Structure 1
Amino acid sequence: MASQGLSGMEKKVAFSLASVFGLRMMGLFMIMPVFALYGQHLEGFSPLWVGIAIGAYGLTQAILQIPMGILSDKYGRKPIIMGGLILFAIGSLIAASSDHIYGVVFGRAVQGMGAIAAAVLALAADLTRDEQRTKVMAVIGMCIGFSFALSLLAGPIVAQHLGLTGLFFLTAVLAVVGIIIVQFFVPNPISQAPKGDTLATPAKLKNMLLDPQLFRLDAGIFILHLVLTAVFVALPLDLVDAGLVKEKHWMLYFPAFVGAFFLMIPLIIIGVKKNNTKTMFQLSLLIMMAALGAMGVFADNLWVLSIAVLLFFTGFNYLEASLPSLIAKFCPVGDKGSAMGVYSTSQFLGAFCGGMLGGGAYQLVGASGVFFVALILMSIWLILTIGMAKPVLLKSYTLEANIKDKSHAQTMATQLSKLTGVAEAIVVLEDKVAYLKVNDDFNLSEARAVLGSVN
């Protein structure tokens, strides 16, 4: 019987890859709360270019995320990951050495070219058993959230003492630390997880885009990160105008993010226990909308802004945590890699568009205008959720299959579909693997017996 917990190697994989992911995301996030304040010495500085600089990484991430994942399948995960981290370090150095806003934008775009998310997640899948894979992915996901919270604390403090140049040099150092971790602490895989679990298949991307349930989620993550990026173009400047000096912004951001984490927990518990994820999802949207409305109306009131930031992160944290699991629930069996590829591309494209929109709106109509535009976009997302189906609570399994030929694969798929608790089953001859979606009545040993049989 398989072990119920992570093995020693799987723990090493989870925490080492989570560290790599977290270090890189910190390098991307630390600029968000400080650039509008500490970049004003740059030649060509304007609110529009602030937004472009903050969001520039998103465009190159969106373009290269899927291709980099495919390259990792061909040339190996670790070489692609280390190459991406090297690109990230180079981009950081370009931004650090620039005295013009254009140079910073170019540096941020180069940072984004190190699009390693798909390769990191694929490597995590390669090095873990299918029944433990979800736990490893959860550790990586939690580390991403923690890195975002830490960046809100570290960004203002680093910028205060080292300036914008020092902050970019620090992000280069973080990339080098990530390279060292990948080289010396991440085990070398001896096999690859099935592509359906990890990587996008270009031929299936169109189907992912046309699926109405997945489209709602992809549009949602696009809007969520568009709003996040746009808000951080305007919010730091608004806080200064409301009387909070830039050196103390971390004293608002970090406690608000931590407090929002605890406020988010009841939403998760109620959603799971009552099997009412959709309602909690919509409630989180309403919480963010209320926060954006308060930011727009009470732009000069520091106390209201502080409460609004707390509410904003409460809704954001819940949605950010819920969307990937909903993608996994709604995507066709065996197509998780393709569904997550579209999802990640939408996420990073949203960050780029948010920078453009936030900077442009601030330049034209000021901070309140940015918040109201964001509120309108969140309202559109809320409308989209009306047709959102109630997710069915199913587990996913990826199991090795002892397949002889196409006819045998079809027989296996038929037998699996008839097993108690199996909602959906597909057997892939080329990968010698079976993908299952099951409920609580499913008996894993019965499925293994079918997959190991030779007729």
Structure 2
Amino acid sequence: MANSGLSNIEKKVAFSLASVFGLRMMGLFMIMPVFALYGQHLEGFSPLWVGVAIGAYGLTQALLQIPLGILSDKIGRKPVILSGLLLFAIGSIIAANSDSIYMVVFGRAVQGMGAIAAAVLALAADLTRDEQRTKVMAIIGMCIGFSFALALLVGPIIAEHLGLSGLFFMTALFAVFGMIIVQVFIPTPVSHAPKGDTLAAPARLKAMLKDPQLLRLDLGIFILHLTLTAVFVALPFVLVDAGFAKEQHWKLYFPTFIGAFFLMVPLIIIGVKKKNTKVTFQISLIIMALALGILAISAGHLPLIIMAILFFFTAFNYLEASLPSLIAKFCPAGDKGSAMGVYSTSQFLGAFCGGMLGGGIYQFVGATGVFLLALALICFWLVLTLGMKNPILLKSYTLAANIKDKQQASVIAEKLSAMKGVAEAILIIEEQAAYLKVNDQFDISEARAVLGSTEL
């Protein structure tokens, strides 16, 4: 019987990689609440270029996320992660030494070239047992959420005391800390976990785009991060116009973000008790639409703005947390890596487009135009969810398989599919792996007996 808890090595891997991911995401997020206010001394400053600077990392992230993940399968995870963190540090230093907003945009684009998300998750898979992998991924995911909350607190404080250059130098330092963690605390794997559930396969990307359930989620994360980035182009200006000093913004962002976590709990409870993810998903979108509508009509009324921000973060927290889980539930067995590759690319493209659109609309129409655009997109997403299905609650397993040829793979797949609790069984000869989607009636020891496998 496998140990039900994380081993010491798995705990070390989980928290070390979560720290690396968190430090990097903090570096990307810290600029969002402060750049519009602290970058006004830069040559070429305008709301349009503010949006481009905030979202520039998203374009290079989107372009390189999948290729660098695939590269990590060829040359190793750690070299790709270390190179990505080095690029992130270089981009931060370029931005810190910039006198013009155009060079800040270039620095942000270089930051995004260090697209290490796929390699980090693949390394986590390499160093953990299959039955513990979900826990490790959850720890990393929680750290990403926490890093966003911390960025809203730390970003304005650093910018107030060290200025915009100091903030970018701090992000470079975060990248260096991340490199040290990778080198000192994370072991080098001697073999790769089967990559179907961790890395994107180029041949499978087209199929992911044709799946209507996955496509809804990919469009959703695109809209969510477009909305987030666009809102944070306009919101700092709105708060200042409402009489809220820029040095005090962290006192609003951080408490509302934390308060939103508690308001999100009822949504989670409703979804679990009713077993109706679709309804709670739609409730979250309605809450976000309400928040954006309030922002559009707030016209300098600070209490309304604060209430809207609280509603916005409540919906954002729920949607951001539930979308990756839904991707995993809807994607075919063995295709999680490809599904997440499309999802991540959509997420970063959304951030880039949000910066462009948010900056352009604010410059020519004003904050109300930005919030109304975001409101229209959320309403469009809400319409898309009408065709969304409630996911079947299944677990995923990846087991080693001793497969000689296609005929044997077909026979084993048939035996696995006939087992009690198995909803889907896919065998990949090249990876010597079996990907299973199962319910609570599944007996893993019986599956291992069929496969003649050992733990990964």
Instruction: Give 1:299 shift.
Output: 2.9
- Counterpart Cα distance in 2 of 1:424 and 1:156: 49
- Counterpart Cα distance in 1 of 2:72 and 2:404: 28
Read off the aligned partner of 1:56 and give its amino acid letter. A
Deviations 1:376-429 (A, max 9, x none): 000110010000011110111101112232211111000000001111001111
What percent of counterpart residues are identical?
77
Secondary structure of 2:333's counterpart equals coil
- Counterpart Cα distance in 2 of 1:296 and 1:104: 29
1:416 matches 2:412: no
Paired position in structure 2 for 1:158: 158
Secondary structure of 1:32's counterpart equals coil
TM-score, normalised to structure 1, is 0.99
Secondary structure of 1:393's counterpart equals coil
Deviations 1:123-159 (A, max 9, x none): 0000000000000000000000000000000000000
What does residue range 191-340 of structure 1 map to in structure 2 within 5 Å?
191-340=191-340
Read off the aligned partner of 2:126 and give its amino acid letter. D
- Counterpart Cα distance in 1 of 2:4 and 2:270: 26
Deviates more, 1:294-303 or 1:149-158: 294-303
- Counterpart Cα distance in 1 of 2:269 and 2:327: 19
Secondary structure of 2:366's counterpart equals helix
Paired position in structure 2 for 1:109: 109
Secondary structure of 1:399's counterpart equals strand
Deviations 1:282-307 (A, max 9, x none): 00000000000000101311111001
Instruction: Give 1:191 shift.
Output: 1.1
- Counterpart Cα distance in 1 of 2:274 and 2:310: 25
Paired position in structure 1 for 2:171: 171
Deviations 1:16-70 (A, max 9, x none): 0000000000000000000000000000000000000000000000000000001
Paired position in structure 2 for 1:5: 5
Paired position in structure 1 for 2:118: 118
Paired position in structure 1 for 2:65: 65
Read off the aligned partner of 1:438 and give its amino acid letter. V
Structure 2 unaligned regions, length at least 5: none
Secondary structure of 2:365's counterpart equals helix
- Counterpart Cα distance in 2 of 1:29 and 1:353: 16
Secondary structure of 1:286's counterpart equals helix
- Counterpart Cα distance in 2 of 1:134 and 1:377: 32
Secondary structure of 1:65's counterpart equals helix
Paired position in structure 2 for 1:365: 365
Secondary structure of 1:423's counterpart equals strand
Read off the aligned partner of 2:430 and give its amino acid letter. E
TM-score, normalised to structure 2, is 0.99
- Counterpart Cα distance in 2 of 1:430 and 1:369: 52
Read off the aligned partner of 1:444 and give its amino acid letter. I
Kindly tell me the number of residue pairs found equivalent between the two proteins.
Answer: 453
Read off the aligned partner of 2:381 and give its amino acid letter. W
Paired position in structure 2 for 1:147: 147
- Counterpart Cα distance in 2 of 1:47 and 1:195: 42
- Counterpart Cα distance in 1 of 2:20 and 2:273: 34
What does residue range 8-27 of structure 1 map to in structure 2 within 5 Å?
8-27=8-27
Read off the aligned partner of 2:353 and give its amino acid letter. C
- Counterpart Cα distance in 1 of 2:161 and 2:36: 16
Secondary structure of 2:427's counterpart equals strand
Read off the aligned partner of 1:299 and give its amino acid letter. A
Paired position in structure 2 for 1:184: 184
Read off the aligned partner of 1:66 and give its amino acid letter. I
Read off the aligned partner of 2:346 and give its amino acid letter. S
- Counterpart Cα distance in 2 of 1:373 and 1:10: 44
Secondary structure of 2:435's counterpart equals strand
- Counterpart Cα distance in 2 of 1:339 and 1:151: 28
Cα RMSD, aligned residues only? 0.7
Secondary structure of 1:333's counterpart equals coil
- Counterpart Cα distance in 2 of 1:179 and 1:299: 45
Paired position in structure 2 for 1:447: 447
